[in-house]
Structure 1
């Protein structure tokens, strides 16, 4: 079975950066017919409607239905660093404070993991609608991230996304290229403000209402406590990948912060390395 993914969201690297150290990762909707992985076909069958996303580490997300209920299903291949079990835990916790998908079911097997969630009303921030209205989209992204940081309570968050935790995880994965980048990281700047970070605050992980406000967030598998600049630096960066140059200043303004070049440089370098 193949499902044709829309090319409307852009080229395969729409959602991911060309790394500042020469590392390029790719994620986005496939531009040609794409063979849906067997675990997703087995779970949703003819209920699959479209391939929504294919990320740089092999994960695949499709939209469809279970019975009459609209759902999204995400597959992580065996041995992938895409930790869907971690995402299930974070969805359950974060869902008490912000709008995130509700888990329908999660399964793990020899051919990978599958996570099925209920659909949230809203459009991905990099659909054609918002690519054509980038200013409003960027304002929503910046304001929304600030609201997320203010809504998620640090005191009760059981998850960590500090520099130490991120570096330890990346080193444990043992990918030589990333370890080389970690070895070249400058010392981390002092923490500006400790918040619960999204962990992947790129534009495609935000859903917007028709009015141009945040409807919800997806892909929260790395959500955890960390410096807010870990999110802000990459969130602003993603406006360049998705909408073109010239929107980072608007993003910072919408969030309500002055650009901090030391934190921005460090957290973008850390993003490349982890």
Structure 2
């Protein structure tokens, strides 16, 4: 789940060099998207190996960014290229810092207020308008494919699952699958590094390659876990209070954290 450390220094294909200005590119090491990420003062470029990740996930992210444009603040797509070995997604860089940044952690109550508000706004988008299906049947199929391909990083499992295999985790997911889904438009990876803030505002959401229609607990589970890790248990609980405890199912919080182990 970590960024591919084997990727060399950023070398842009000719098509991207034509649309992106010459810049000093800084490697971004935070995040677990599976792609190498570089940024300049104005742009971000993601690069992903087609050998390690045969599914065109950056193309999926491009389509989602285009759909979210005008609905919620997200980066603007600049260009996409696929040379058969690697795919590249260039987009604008949002101003501000990630909600996981140490400076943001100095204002934990403000952060959980902003995060709860951002999730409520996202989940209020009309499901009928969203063309991306990431409901549990789809996610479990993708999880099974990842397990079969041997691409799940078992060493990166949460502490309570250290020592388990990806097959064991998948079998547990199959046995304990919730009977119903509370479907909304979700981010799909609603962790603090994927929320960009500036002052009193959320400037935008990033890493939207898994976004789509899913149970709201897909987002709540990862947002709660990320808040607990970055800000502490008190603020993780506050996040759920601010979002709306009447909408929270504790069992589903645990289930969707388990599901995330396979991605």
1:222-237 matches, within 5 Å, as 222-237=210-225
Match of 2:203 in 1: 215
Residue from 28, 47, 72 that aligns with 1:52: 28
41-50 vs 104-113, which deviates more? Answer: 41-50
Measured against aligned partners, the alpha-carbon deviations of 1:158-182 in whole angstroms (never above 9, x if no partner) come to 1111111001112123244434311
SS at match of 2:255: helix
Q: Which has the higher helix share?
A: 2
SS at match of 2:64: helix
In 2, Cα distance between equivalents of 1:260 and 1:225: 18
Match of 1:195 in 2: 184
The alpha-carbon deviation at position 56 of structure 1 amounts to 4.5
Residue from 62, 79, 86 that aligns with 1:105: 79
Please report the TM-score for the alignment, with normalisation by the length of structure 2. 0.81
Match of 1:115 in 2: 89
CA contact 1:40–1:75 (8 Å) conserved in 2: no
Match of 1:86 in 2: 60
Please report the TM-score for the alignment, with normalisation by the length of structure 1. 0.78
1:117-156 matches, within 5 Å, as 117-150=91-124, 152-156=125-129
Is the aligned partner of 1:162 residue 2:135? yes
In 2, Cα distance between equivalents of 1:204 and 1:82: 22
Residue from 43, 52, 74 that aligns with 1:71: 43
46-55 vs 94-103, which deviates more? Answer: 46-55
In 2, Cα distance between equivalents of 1:40 and 1:137: 38
SS at match of 1:113: strand
The change in CA–CA distance for 1:108 and 1:195 in structure 2 (over 3 A counts) is same
In 2, Cα distance between equivalents of 1:178 and 1:99: 35
SS at match of 2:47: strand
Measured against aligned partners, the alpha-carbon deviations of 1:33-57 in whole angstroms (never above 9, x if no partner) come to x952434898469513422235557
The alpha-carbon deviation at position 269 of structure 1 amounts to 1.0
CA contact 2:50–2:86 (8 Å) conserved in 1: yes
How many residues are matched?
240
Is the aligned partner of 1:271 residue 2:260? yes
Match of 1:171 in 2: 144
Q: Which has the higher strand share?
A: 1
Match of 1:61 in 2: 37
The alpha-carbon deviation at position 85 of structure 1 amounts to 0.3
In 1, Cα distance between equivalents of 2:50 and 2:135: 26
Is the aligned partner of 1:244 residue 2:232? yes
The change in CA–CA distance for 1:249 and 1:77 in structure 2 (over 3 A counts) is same
CA-atom RMSD, angstroms? 2.6
The change in CA–CA distance for 1:245 and 1:194 in structure 2 (over 3 A counts) is same
CA contact 1:54–1:61 (8 Å) conserved in 2: no
Match of 1:15 in 2: none
SS at match of 1:246: helix
Structure 2 unmatched ranges of 5 or more: 151-164
